[in-house]
Amino acid sequence: PAAPSAGRPAAPALEASPLRGQTVKMPRIRKLIGDNMMRALHDQAQLSTVVEVDVTRIMRLRARAKDAFAQREGVKLSPMPFFVKAAVQALKAHPVVNARINEDEGTISYFDTENVGIAVDTEKGLMTPVIKGAGDLNIAGIARKTAELADKVRSNKITPDEVSGATFTISNTGSRGALFDTIIVPPNQVAILGLGATVKRPTVVDHPELGETIAVRHMTYLTLSYDHRLVDGADAARYLGAVKALLEAGEFESEIGL
């Protein structure tokens, strides 16, 4: 076949899956995930709100700090801890997003801690280990805990306690290139934050000397899916606005050793 032209990526070599044409028993974990998702959709009034965020400063900070950070902390510095840090900071100011509806009692519990579930894609299905007390951790602590839990999930060493007790969930739907997703709020929570893929694209920015100009920026979409029985659209917009402001300010130098 002809070689691809310069600058154009070659088409991937896709092999047919051995599952084609098969009828197999649904794995237990897949059934549990499916049952939980159906229960969440049935029990909640779910909808989603999306904002666009300029994370250029975050990506530049990460590029400057990642080598020294990995040597010092023993884990890679991915963009994920920055998003988690901004998300939990904003939760403290917007408790309606970090809450639970107690159906039987007719009450609402507003949590004073941020236990964040982190969705992890595995061969057996989606698992959500929980960073307990994420609101008390700095970026290094979040990075270490995320790596530790993800390793436990993928090596089948995760414990029941480590996948329970989430008050809020974050799903990195952009890890495989998705721009955004309409994610499902897990049972016993009222919101979940989806992180879209970070991509470079031309954007209008306000330059202090040039005024409005077009520049190449790192942009991403954040999606908040929420239970409308408790969280109104204005609540969702205020929360997302706070996360956006924290990420675009990008004042994390002291936490990553810069």
Active-site residues, by number, are 228, 232
Closest CA to 128 of 209, 193, 179, 206: 193
User: How far are the Cα atoms of 48, 144, 149, 181 from residue 131, in angstroms, in the given order?
Assistant: 24, 10, 8, 22
Question: Are the beta carbons of 143 and 258 closer than 8 angstroms?
Answer: no
d(CA 257, CA 66): 10
Residue of 106, 94, 115, 45 lying closest to 237 (CA atoms): 94
DSSP summary character for residue 81: H
Alpha carbon of residue 86 to chain centroid = 11
